[in-house]
Structure 1
Amino acid sequence: MARRKESYIFTSEKKKSGFFGNFLMVVLMLLAVAITCILLNVASNSKVLLNQEKVSIMSLDKTYEGFSVLHISDLQASSMGQDYDTWKGLLNAKTYHAVVLSGDMVGLTGDYAPLVSLIGILTELNAKAPIYFVAGDEDPAPIVSTVTTSELAPWVQEAQKAGAIYLDAPISQAVGKKTVWFVPEYLYSIDASGMASVLEVQKTNMEADGKQYDMQGAEAYQSLGQRIDTMNKTTEAIKTMLSTDIQIAVSHVPLDSDYIRTSLEWADTEKVFNFRNISLLLAGHYCGGQWRVPRQGPLYVPEFGWMPEDDGIVGMQRVNSINQYISGGIGASDIYPMKGRMFNTPSITILKLTARIE
């Protein structure tokens, strides 16, 4: 008897089932990749890298050979500032003679507890290294003026109480019988003595008009005192500078190449305090690009666009005679539409001065 032909009434359902299975497999694989990336990123952000850089300076006096600066930037109130074990593991037995915090250590939150904690930890680990700091563009204003007073902001005062030095004017540090100066970069574009005179005249005029008692003019009048004090301190510091001194400038936002070249061109070389005499410029701001594509570079940086190179964003940059080092930072900045750090391990750097050209 002939075999009856079988009828497969569920054929279409099997095909659908196969398609669904493949689709589910792809989704699960993508999910696994995403979870792996997230876990790797979490692991990356839970540590801090310590970079080491040599800063080559022609004809560097042997007294300065090996002088080292620990550069930290953009903490952004991260809890990393309170992690004693991390900092001890990074810096224990490391040699550095000064610490520079180049801004946005507090950030928009206004929470200065992590910064104060970090200053305490750094002081404990190396009490001989002064800690200098400047304000960043996302930090609260460093000076608070009211109708009756003008004083440093609470976060600045607390950082000072913890042992750090607010860098609003040039500060000297002895190195043997020589001197290293740490200078807010913007002062190189200002005639401090002339500015002090202009502000004094402005203050006198306000007093003559009774502006110091006026609700609208009182705050401006009070802030003049702080600005005059800064210009006077700068003027006095400049008088004591020698051509054999080293000048290290600090700016939160990196200087672009065109600005550096223009500043070099217009520098008054007859004066000791001039832009050409900057041996090292320290900056931060960009947080290394915040989101990075592995083995490529930043994904997107405002001002630079999509997939820019690292030059001018992170790392050592030499423009003519100027060595500019841009820290990768620790926290995340609000200048980016993408929040947090992605494939971008927080980092700090020890920079060592040397006469060796490499």
Structure 2
Amino acid sequence: MTRKRRWLYFLLAVGATLLALVLYTVYDNQRIVVRRETVFIENLPEAFNGFTILQLTDLHEKTFGPGQKRLIDVINRERFDLVAITGDMTQNSGSQNFQPFYDLLDGWNNRAPILFVVGNTDPIVYAFWHNHEKTPFYTGMEARGARLLESVFLLEKGEDRLWIVHAQDAMRNPEPILAAIAERLPAETDEGMKGEFLRQQKVFMDFRRFHADARPRDVVIGLTHYPLLPEDVERVRRDGKEFLLPPFDLLLAGHYHGGQIRLPFIGALYVPERRLGKNGYFPPQDRVKGWMDVAGIPQYVSAGLGARNSVPLLAFRLFNPPEINLITLKPKPATDAPGR
């Protein structure tokens, strides 16, 4: 075989490999993985034994067929008691392309409560320049049955209670915040700022009641777009003046996309968290997706559904299929160690 022919075969092999990789990536970005997880909670009330949460996150305007039909069909085959949407339904805060998210809300049959926490690419929530009203993304979302979780949501079954809270704000001590608002609100003349003060006052009064009313036997689940790190929880534990740690049984988060671009045997090359790895590059793989222990609190980080377009040529997922997550609560056996 001549050198020229060997070179030609080499180029053909490389081309065929690249074509196969492209075709697989296109296929992989359109399939939907259902990840089923169980979290074991100490002294879980029997009323919430088997309670299942559907977590959706980081859609980023991605579509799965006309009107999200393929994704809706997958969801409609599942049983769940609550939907937790942990942010980033749009590509950026200025986007007006709400329809991929709205199609999803319109499509599924289960009428379980839907709770939404804001991500970093979602539109701004309130229009300060217009009487502090909610912006169209959120009014449209709420018209379709989703609820913006700004403070707490309580589910009661007889004497048993399950609290869903906005994780970051639930860790802030409401007392100094409410005192500062009470001092500044009477003198505020700007209508937008006055509306924001009133909103924060309601939110932190909700948290004051939550911290006062939550009982040791209650279940407490925190929703957050941004995963918490152990140092976040330890800082809250150390500073009892500005912070107040809720008795979390579980945290649900998104944001990392599982790294978005993953390589076999290596994993994620980057996550948007400067405190992991080298400014987010080559992060610890046990902190990228799935279960992780956060200073004694079990946290589940979903890899989500879509991809960011921050780098246009990399607006896809590699070896990292879209996923939805079903998390079921079960009582912890007496012999189990703390955590999962």
Match of 1:115 in 2: 101
Shift of 1:67: 1.4
Given the alignment, which residue of 319, 325, 349 partners 2:294? 319
Structure 1 residue runs of 5 or longer lacking an equivalent are: 1-14, 213-217
Structure 1 position 308, deviation (Å): 2.9
Structure 1 residue 259 corresponds to structure 2 residue 241: no
Q: Deviations over 1:28-85 (max 9, x none)?
A: 1111100100111111111110001111222323332211111111011111393223
The alpha carbon displacement at 1:176 in A equals 4.4
User: Pairwise CA RMSD of aligned residues?
Assistant: 2.4
Aligned partners of 2:329, 2:237: CA distance in 1, in Å?
21
Equivalent of 1:150 in 114, 126, 132: 132
Q: Give me the whole-angstrom Cα distance separating, in 2, the residues matched to 1:102 and 1:168.
A: 12
The CA distance in 2 between the partners of 1:58 and 1:85, in whole Å, is 37
Q: Return the alpha-carbon distance in structure 2 between the equivalents of residues 188 and 117 of structure 1.
A: 31
1:86 paired residue number? 71
Cα distance in structure 2, aligned partners of 1:86 and 1:103:
17
- Partners in 1 of 2:214 and 2:38 — Cα distance? 25
Contact 1:261 1:319 in 2 (8 A): no
- Work out the CA distance in 2 between the residues paired with 1:267 and 1:192: 11
Contact 1:297 1:309 in 2 (8 A): no
The answer to whether structure 1 residue 165 and structure 2 residue 138 are counterparts is no
Q: Cα gap change, 1:260/1:234 in structure 2, threshold over 3 Å: closer, same or farther? A: closer
Secondary structure of the equivalent of 1:43? helix
How far has the Cα of 1:115 moved from its partner?
1.3
TM-score, L = length of structure 2: 0.87
Larger-gyration structure (1/2): 1
Shift of 1:238: 4.2
CA distance in 1, matches of 2:198, 2:219: 30
Which residue of the partner structure matches residue 198 of structure 2? Answer: 225
Give the secondary structure class of the aligned counterpart of 2:287.
Answer: coil
Taking only the aligned residue pairs, the percentage that are identical comes to: 25
1:345 to 321, 330, 339: 321
Shift of 1:135: 0.6
Task: Compute the displacement of 1:301 (Å).
Answer: 2.6
> Which residue in the other structure is 1:3 paired with?
none
Measure, in 2, the Cα distance between the counterparts of 1:316 and 1:91.
Answer: 25
2:123 to 136, 140, 144: 140
Separation of aligned partners in 2, 1:175 and 1:40: 46
Q: d(CA) in 2 for partners of 1:267 and 1:243?
A: 19
Structure 1 residue 130 corresponds to structure 2 residue 83: no
- Measure, in 2, the Cα distance between the counterparts of 1:72 and 1:176: 28
CA distance in 1, matches of 2:181, 2:234: 30
Give me the whole-angstrom Cα distance separating, in 2, the residues matched to 1:54 and 1:72.
Answer: 16
In the alignment, which residue of structure 2 is the partner of 1:290?
A: 260
Letter in 2 for 1:131: I
Give deviations 1:301-350, integer Å, cap 9, x for gaps: 34234433332221011234201000101011256684321111001111
Amino acid at match of 1:175: K
Contact 2:163–2:218 (8 Å) recurs in 1 = yes
In 2, distance between residues paired with 1:153 and 1:259?
31
Instruction: List per-residue Cα deviations over 1:231-250 (Å, max 9, x = no partner).
Output: 23333444443332111101
Task: Report if the CA contact (8 A) 1:297-1:310 is conserved.
Answer: yes
Moved more, 229-238 or 287-296: 229-238
- In structure 2, what is the Cα distance between the partners aligned to 1:266 and 1:197? 18
Q: How many residues align?
A: 324
SS in 1 for 2:285: coil
Query: Cα gap change, 1:84/1:339 in structure 2, threshold over 3 Å: closer, same or farther?
Result: closer
> Mind listing any 5+ residue stretches in structure 2 that lack a counterpart?
none
The 1:220–1:276 alpha-carbon spacing in structure 2 relative to 1, beyond 3 Å, is: closer
Distance 1:335 1:327 in 2: 20
- How far off its partner does 1:276 sit? 5.0
Residue 168 of structure 2 is aligned with which of 186, 198, 204?
Answer: 186
The aligned residue for residue 17 of structure 2 is: 33
- The match for 2:55 is 71
Q: Which residue of 1 aligns with 2:29?
A: 45
Q: 1:267 to 1:141 in 2, by over 3 A?
A: same
Match of 2:251 in 1: 281
TM-score (norm 1): 0.83
